[in-house]
Homo-oligomer: A and B are copies of this chain.
Amino acid sequence: MVHPRVLRAMSTPLLGHLDPEFLTIMNQVQTLLRAVFETQNPFTIAVSGTGSAGMEAALVNLIEPGDQVIVGVNGVFGTRMADIVGRAGGRSVKVEAPWGQIIDLPRLEGALKQAGAVKAVALVHAETSTGAHQPLEDAGALCRRHGALLIVDAVTSLGGVPVQVDAWGIDACYSGTQKCLSCPPGLAPLTLSPRALETLKARKTKVQSWYLDMSMIADYWTEGKRAYHHTAPISMVYALREALRLVVEEGLEARFARHRRHSAALMAGLATLGCEPQAQAGHRLPTLNCVHVPSGVDEAGVRKSLLAEFGIEIGGGLGPLAGQVWRIGLMGESSRHEHVVTLLSALEQIFRRHGWAKQTGHALAAAHQSYATSA
Which residues of B sit under 8 angstroms from A55, Cβ to Cβ?
210-211
Q: Is A165 an interface residue (CB 8 A)?
A: no
Q: Is A337 an interface residue (CB 8 A)?
A: no
Q: How far is the CB of A56 from the nearest CB of chain B, in Å?
A: 5
Chain B residue at minimal CB-CB distance from A9: B11
Q: CA separation between A12 and B184, bound complex, in Å?
A: 10
Across the interface, A83 reaches (CB within 8 A) one of B14, B87, B210, namely B210
Is the Cβ of B11 less than 8 Å from the Cβ of A51? no
Provide the A1-32 mask, 1 if CB < 8 A to any CB of B, else 0: 11000011011111011011000000000000
Is the Cβ of B56 less than 8 Å from the Cβ of A186? no
Q: How far is the CB of A81 from the nearest CB of chain B, in Å?
A: 9
Chain B residue at minimal CB-CB distance from A86: B206
A48-B51 contact given A176-B231, A235-B184, CB 8 Å threshold? no
Q: Is A313 an interface residue (CB 8 A)?
A: yes
Across the interface, A7 reaches (CB within 8 A) one of B13, B184, B230, B318, namely B13
Across the interface, A84 reaches (CB within 8 A) one of B80, B186, B210, namely B210
Q: Is A53 an interface residue (CB 8 A)?
A: yes
Q: Is A135 an interface residue (CB 8 A)?
A: no
Provide the A173-188 mask, 1 if CB < 8 A to any CB of B, else 0: 0001010000011100
Is the Cβ of B87 less than 8 Å from the Cβ of A49? no
Which residues of B sit under 8 angstroms from A206, Cβ to Cβ?
86-87
Q: Is A275 an interface residue (CB 8 A)?
A: no
Q: CA separation between A91 and B48, bound complex, in Å?
A: 27
Q: How far is the CB of A47 from the nearest CB of chain B, in Å?
A: 9
Is the Cβ of A230 less than 8 Å from the Cβ of B51? yes
Is the Cβ of B209 less than 8 Å from the Cβ of A87? yes
Across the interface, A87 reaches (CB within 8 A) one of B11, B84, B87, B207, namely B207
Is the Cβ of B307 less than 8 Å from the Cβ of A236? no
Which residues of B sit under 8 angstroms from A68, Cβ to Cβ?
none
A87-B51 contact given A13-B2, A185-B231, CB 8 Å threshold? no
A8-B11, A52-B231, A185-B231 known; 20 new pairs, CB 8 Å cut-off, are: A7-B12, A7-B13, A48-B50, A49-B211, A50-B230, A50-B232, A50-B233, A52-B229, A53-B230, A55-B211, A83-B210, A87-B210, A176-B231, A178-B231, A185-B234, A186-B186, A209-B209, A233-B233, A235-B236, A236-B236
**Pairs A–B under 8 Å by Cβ, sample size 22:** A7-B11, A14-B184, A19-B307, A48-B50, A51-B230, A52-B211, A55-B210, A56-B210, A56-B211, A84-B210, A88-B208, A184-B236, A185-B232, A185-B233, A185-B234, A186-B186, A186-B235, A208-B208, A208-B209, A209-B209, A233-B233, A235-B235
User: What is A's interface to B at a CB cutoff of 8 Å?
Assistant: 1-2, 7-8, 10-14, 16-17, 19-20, 48-53, 55-56, 60, 80, 83-84, 86-88, 176, 178, 184-186, 206-212, 228-236, 239, 307, 313, 318
Q: Which 5 A-B pairs have the closest CB atoms?
A: A186-B233, A52-B230, A184-B235, A11-B11, A7-B11
